[in-house]
C-alpha cells in the first residue's frame, strides 16, 4: 500500500463511505444495547414497590435487586417478576441504595429516600422521562457521521491530487 493512497484488496482507492464505516468501528466505544431504569414507590403504606425496565420500556424480568442502608447493611433482596416488579416490606425512614443486576451487563445503582410520610424521593428520572425517545442524541449522531464523511471525502481528494502530482 503506497503512502499516497489507501488501497483496497483488488486495487483502487477506498471509497469515502467505507472509510467512514471503518472510522466509526475503530473509534466507537463499547456500549450496551439499552439503559436500565428503576422506579420506586409505595404500593401500599407498608410496602415498597420497585419496577425495573429498559430504555425501550420493556420490563427487566428476573433481575436481582438488593437494597442497602447507609451503613451498608442489606435491608432487602429479591428478584423481579415477568413485569419487572418486586415488592418488599417498608423499611424505617432513611436513605437507601438500590442495586439491580438485570444480567447481560445491565447494572444500575440509585439512591432513594424513604420518608416518614409522603412519596419516595429518588435520584433517577421517572419512567416516562427515562423511556422517551432522545431526538437530540439521534441528531448529534447524524451530524458526527456527516462530518466524518465530509472529512473522509476531503482527505481522499487530497490524496488523489497528491498521487497525480507525484
Domain shared by 49 and 114, yes or no:
yes
Is pLDDT above 70 for 10?
Answer: no
Domain count, the chain: 2
Is pLDDT above 80 for 130?
Answer: no
Query: Residue 139: which domain range?
Result: 16-31+135-165
Question: Which of 124, 75, 126 shows the shortest CA–CA distance to 96?
Answer: 75
Q: What is the pLDDT of residue 79?
A: 97
Would 4 be classed as within a structural domain? no
153: which 3 cell numbers?
471525502
Distance (Å, rounded) from C-alpha 102 to C-alpha 95? 23
Q: What is the pLDDT of residue 133?
A: 65
Cβ–Cβ < 8 Å for 106, 60: yes
Domain shared by 48 and 106, yes or no:
yes
Cβ–Cβ < 8 Å for 60, 80: yes
Question: Which of 42, 48, 46 shows the shortest CA–CA distance to 65?
Answer: 48
Would 2 be classed as within a structural domain? no
pLDDT tens digits, one per residue of 49-93: 999 999 888 999 999 999 999 999 999 999 999 999 999 999 999
Question: Which of 49, 109, 115 shows the shortest CA–CA distance to 80?
Answer: 49
Would 8 be classed as within a structural domain? no
Distance (Å, rounded) from C-alpha 55 to C-alpha 133? 9
Distance (Å, rounded) from C-alpha 60 to C-alpha 90? 22
pLDDT tens digits, one per residue of 11-58: 455 565 665 665 655 555 444 447 899 999 999 999 999 999 998 889
pLDDT tens digits, one per residue of 93-107: 999 999 999 988 899
Domain shared by 122 and 159, yes or no:
no
Domain shared by 65 and 51, yes or no:
yes
Q: Backbone phi, then psi, for 24, in 5-degree steps?
A: -65, -45
Q: What is the CATH number of the domain that holds 107?
A: 2.60.40.10
Domain shared by 63 and 119, yes or no:
yes
Amino acid at each position: 500500500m503506497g503512502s499516497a493512497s489507501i488501497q483496497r484488496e483488488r486495487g483502487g482507492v477506498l471509497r469515502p463511505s467505507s472509510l467512514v464505516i471503518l472510522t466509526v468501528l475503530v473509534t466507537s466505544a463499547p456500549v450496551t444495547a439499552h439503559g436500565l431504569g428503576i422506579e420506586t414507590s409505595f404500593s401500599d403504606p407498608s410496602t415498597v414497590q420497585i419496577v425495573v425496565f429498559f430504555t425501550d420500556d420493556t420490563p427487566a424480568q428476573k433481575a436481582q435487586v438488593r437494597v442497602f442502608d447507609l451503613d451498608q447493611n442489606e435491608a432487602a433482596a429479591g428478584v423481579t417478576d415477568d413485569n419487572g416488579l418486586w415488592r418488599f416490606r417498608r423499611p424505617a425512614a432513611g436513605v437507601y441504595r438500590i442495586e439491580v443486576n438485570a444480567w447481560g451487563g445491565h447494572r444500575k445503582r440509585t439512591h432513594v429516600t424513604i420518608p416518614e410520610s409522603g412519596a419516595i424521593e429518588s435520584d433517577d428520572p421517572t419512567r416516562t422521562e427515562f423511556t422517551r425517545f432522545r431526538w437530540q442524541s439521534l441528531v448529534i449522531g447524524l451530524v458526527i457521521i456527516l462530518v466524518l464523511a465530509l472529512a473522509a471525502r476531503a482527505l481522499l481528494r487530497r490524496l488523489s491530487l497528491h498521487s497525480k502530482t507525484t
